[in-house]
Structure 1
Amino acid sequence: MQNKQMTMGDTIGLGFMTFAFFLGAGNLIFPPFAGHMAGDNTLPAMIGFLLTAVGMPLVGLIAIAKSNGKVTAFLPSAAATALTVSIYLIIGPIIAAPRTGLVAFEIGALPFLSADATNGQLYYTLGFFLITMVLSAFPGNLLDSVGKVLTPLLIFLLVGLAVSVFILPGAEPGVPQGDYASSPLTKGILEGYNTMDTLASLIFGMLIIDILRKKGVTEAATQTKYLVRAALIAAGGLAFVYLSLFYLGTTAGDLAIGAETGGQLLTQYVTHYFGNTGVILLASVVTLACLTTAVGLVSACSEYFNELLPQISYRIWVLLMCAGCMAMANLGLKELINFSIPVLVTVYPVAIALVLVTFLTQKFARPEFSHRLVLSVALVFGIFDGLKVAGLDTSFLNFLPLYAEGMAWLLPTLLTMFICLFIKKPVKAETVA
């Protein structure tokens, strides 16, 4: 089959599509709240956030291209399946998909409800995930059409919001709060986990390679070239959005009073400067963005689990996924985020280690052994970090470097990678005649 070349316009289009993949509406709520909490320490916190929310997803996409979509090839099949299942559950019914319903409620419905409205969240999320279930179970061109209109509209809204942040008068940065006062860089890195984009890059990278194949780009080297270009465009867009939202939170001042999440802070900012019209526009676009994101996540998860367990039909998986999303969503946004942090702190080191060892595969004399050892170390120490964040008494581990900062996995994992570079192939014993 002839290997096609893409035009500049096609490449830019692929980059914007990749940007849209990553920019779920949930991603809008973390940077402003982190900026508000960081205050005077915004710069190091922002750098840390961008490392895991932009840098690692970019590197993840490049790793997928480099490995031709087979980043788990050196793992035992059971371990590879367990890791993939974990990622799908996290970006599906456990955290990411329920979060879309809650963000849609906080930004799209809560500003218009009276203070004495009861069970609003329950009824809203029930309706939200019923619509998600119908659209996921009977996919068609409707969702694609909405997406083609919605993505440019969302980008236009974000650009307008970003410009307003730098033009409109803002307050001076406040006093750093919590961990942002003592270790803003590390806290920013951990906050970037919440976007889940490094995990998503392992899924989206394979999806983009499949899209390139369908466009006739068949050679691995050419696929890598276009995927890297698309990744750079997406990373630039994400960085622009995150920087402006971080600055919004840092300079929000009194507008942040009473806000417990980034969604509430964002709504209060828009209400103050743009009135009801701005709130309605923000609510409409974010609600639709959340809905399309939810449908995409539920569909992707249902397709994967249908392939894994084909005896259960795709539509039954859709029903199960939406029921799970509904249950998790009614924890509440703040509670869901608190629940997700220990999970992400445990899984993220494994995902980052997987991305890094992919670049070193050709340097390892024993790549299979090296991959397995590095990921095992990352998992063990990631569990330690996760237990600490979950609030369990793990003071006996305080001797570990960076444990207090929540990154005990980093140095042992990097040291293991370094050691693996010097492990040589075993010498085969000569057969005696």
Structure 2
Amino acid sequence: MAVTFFSMFFGAGNLIFPPLVGALSGRAAVPALVGFTISAVGLPILGVIVVARAGGFAHLSARVSRHFSLILGVAIMLTIGPLFAIPRTASTSFEMAVVPFLPSGARPWAQFAYSVVFFALAFVVAQHPDRLTAVLGRIMGPILLVMIAALFVACLVVPHGPFTAPTGVYKHDQLIQGFLDGYQTMDLIAALYFGIVISANIKELGVRDESRNRAETGIGGLWTGAMLIIVYGVLGFVGAVSETFHAIDPTTDTGATVLTNLTSHAFGPVGLAFIGIVFVIACFNVCTGLISTCSSYFHTTFPRMAGHRVSYRVWSLVFTLISLAIANIGLSAIIALSVPVLEFLYPIAIVLVALALFGRVFTQRFPRAYLWTVLGAGIASGANAIRGLAAVFGAHLEWLDRACALLPLQQVSLGWLAPAAVGLVIGIAISIAERRRAR
């Protein structure tokens, strides 16, 4: 079951971001990877556990309100679906499998042609999602692990220079920056929907007692977390070694560039071809799975639009076409746009997971804490997301910058913590007052 969990979590983003962290942090890779592991492993595993205990993410988020549950669910599905995660599968596989062999000047048309074929095939296969699980769990997961092990061994035996000094955003505060870059795996917000699925799978294996099922979910999550920690450590080391061969541009290059540089140096064209094929297959399977997941969610949640029935196939076609358009803006642009959105969603998800860890206390004694804590975190993280999106498009909202600068820990991108704490206090106070009036 732990291997299955690992396959569910480990996609293209999990392959490209740890090497980038290692390459940019260099000699400071350890604290950077510790921060990355906290947000990319610790929080998702906690998310799996608390969602299973709550009986599903819809039940957990409904503790804030039913409308909030619907809005957040749609936002998460669009984020891990057609706006960012699905387009990233095509962009990442193109960067790894095609770009190293392209002549100069051929990239725009080649990327468009590749994306059309990639998404056309993904759309067809996504119409039969039940056939993907065996391929992902039994074939692609082991192949990816073997590939990572081969890269690790190559880094041990191929001579390389000393690790470089931290560059780019990792010049300072490596622990915090690693924590923030862990958002890019999107695993926490994905885990909010994985938890109930994992619990159901364990139930199918015969563990039907509720308390035992929760315990087994937790054990499976811990084993998955251990696997992810090892793999992220290995990929971070691979990235640090790669940087000693080929320096990257912190503003434009990605983890795909880091892996391409190392593979080319260690194995030559054969290595590039091998890792490219693996990325194409892995990204293709993840893409079809995400198209299926998002289409199923919207088909179930919105079976009719404007008085007309909307089928699963229509939703999947819409999401495929949106993903095709976004994929062609390039991997770096997709990552840049996703950062502000994830900086908005992640604090809300973190707050929900943290409160759910003490579910009985807050659900029974201080139920208003959910609404007010999420509201505090959401206002602050939303303001920062607006700033981030404006900056991506070259704009600067000085009044909003000044307002956000007043928040404690804003300089390390954790300005949402204080408003969340204030909201928690307000929620507890309102709950106590309501309980006294009820007496």
Q: Give TM-score, length-normalised by structure 2.
A: 0.90
Distance 2:115 2:281 in 1: 14
1:328 equivalent among 315, 326, 329: 326
1:59 maps onto 2:46 in alignment: yes
Q: Which of 37, 40, 54 is the matching residue for 1:50?
A: 37
Could you say which residue in structure 1 is the equivalent of 2:293?
300
| 1:409 counterpart = 2:402 | no
Q: Could you list the per-position Cα deviations for residues 279-303 of structure 1 after superposition, in whole angstroms to 9, with x for gaps in the alignment?
A: 2221111110000000110000000
Q: d(CA) in 2 for partners of 1:198 and 1:269?
A: 29
Using a 3 Å threshold, how does the CA distance of structure 1 residues 362 and 398 change in structure 2: closer, same or farther? same
After TM superposition, the structure 1 = structure 2 runs for residues 176-195 of structure 1, keeping only pairs within 5 Å, are: 176-195=166-185
Measured against aligned partners, the alpha-carbon deviations of 1:179-198 in whole angstroms (never above 9, x if no partner) come to 32222221111111000000
Q: Deviations over 1:208-240 (max 9, x none)?
A: 122223333322212211111111111111111
Aligned counterparts of 1:284 and 1:76: Cα–Cα separation in 2: 45
The number of residues matched between the two structures is 417
Does the 8 Å CA contact 2:87/2:324 hold for their aligned counterparts?
yes
Map 1:76-225 → 2, pairs under 5 A: 76-118=65-107, 119-139=109-129, 141=131, 144-145=134-135, 147-225=137-215
Question: 1:33, 1:49 → 2: CA distance?
Answer: 11
CA pair 143-199 structure 1, distance change in 2 beyond 3 A: closer
Return 197-206 or 366-375, whichever deviates more: 366-375
Cα–Cα, structure 1 residues 72 and 280, in superposed 2: closer, same or farther, change >3 Å?
Answer: same
**What per-residue deviation string (whole Å, max 9, x for no partner) do you get for residues 248-290 of structure 1?**
2223234333561110110110111112222222111111000
Relative distance call for 1:146 and 1:75 in structure 2 (3 A) is closer
Report the Cα offset of residue 145 of structure 1: 3.9
Q: Does 2:429 match 1:426?
A: no
Q: Which residue of 1 aligns with 2:367?
A: 368
Aligned to 1:5: none
Deviation of residue 147 (structure 1)? 4.9
Cα gap change, 1:178/1:267 in structure 2, threshold over 3 Å: closer, same or farther? closer
Q: Letter of the aligned partner of 1:215 in structure 2?
A: L
Which residue in the other structure is 2:404 paired with? 397
CA offset at residue 350 of structure 1? 0.4
Report the CA distance between 1:167 and its aligned residue: 4.0
- In structure 2, relative to structure 1, the CA distance for the partners of 1:418 and 1:369 (3 Å cut) is closer
**Letter of the 1:231 counterpart:** G
Give 1:419 shift: 6.2
* Counterpart mapping for 1:234-245 below 5 A: 234-245=224-235
Q: Which residue of 1 aligns with 2:340?
A: 342
CA–CA distance in structure 2, aligned partners of residues 106 and 293 of structure 1: 16
**SS in structure 2 opposite 1:93?**
helix
> 2: distance between equivalents of 1:282 and 1:348?
31
Contact 2:148 2:235 survives alignment (8 Å): no
- C-alpha separation in 1, matches of 2:136 and 2:185: 24
Distance in 1 between residues matched to 2:132 and 2:240, nearest whole Å: 39
Partner of 1:377: 376
Q: Using the TM superposition, give the Cα deviation of residue 28 of structure 1 relative to its aligned residue in structure 2, in angstroms.
A: 1.0
For the Cα contact (< 8 Å) 1:37–1:176, is it kept in 2? yes
- Does structure 2 retain, via aligned residues, the 8 Å contact 1:136–1:295? yes
Give 1:37's aligned residue.
Answer: 24
1:155-186: CA deviations, max 9, x gaps?
21122223333443333222222332222221
Q: Does the 8 Å CA contact 1:384/1:408 hold for their aligned counterparts?
A: no
- SS of equivalent to 1:251: helix
What is the rounded CA distance, in whole Å, between the counterparts of 1:52 and 1:145 in structure 2? 28
Tell me, yes or no, if the aligned pair for 2:242 and 2:259 is still in contact at 8 Å: no
- Bigger Cα displacement from structure 2, 17-26 vs 406-415: 406-415
Task: Give the aligned partner of residue 284 of structure 2.
Answer: 291
Residue 10 of structure 1: aligned partner = none
Cα separation, 2, equivalents of 1:125 and 1:307: 28
Distance 1:208 1:142 in 2: 17
RMSD of the TM alignment (CA)? 2.0
CA distance in structure 2 between the aligned counterparts of 1:88 and 1:278, rounded to whole angstroms = 35
Partner amino acid, structure 1, of 2:45: L
- Cα distance in 1, alignment partners of residues 421 and 29 from structure 2: 27
Greater per-residue helix proportion: 2
Partners of 1:139 and 1:64 in 2: CA distance: 24
Q: Does 1:275 align with 2:264?
A: no
Query: Gaps (5+ residues) in structure 1?
Result: 1-13
1:353 alignment partner AA = V
Q: 1:139 to 1:68 in 2, by over 3 A?
A: closer
With 180-189 and 170-179 compared, the bigger mean Cα shift is at 170-179
Q: Is the 8 A contact 1:26 1:290 kept in 2?
A: no
Q: Percent identity?
A: 31
State the shift of 1:92 in Å: 0.5
Q: Give secondary structure in 2 for the equivalent of 1:170.
A: coil
Q: 1:72 to 1:429 in 2, by over 3 A?
A: closer
Letter aligned with residue 96 of structure 1: A
* 1:225–1:147 distance in 2 versus 1, CA, 3 Å: closer
Which blocks of at least 5 consecutive residues in structure 2 are unaligned?
Answer: 304-308
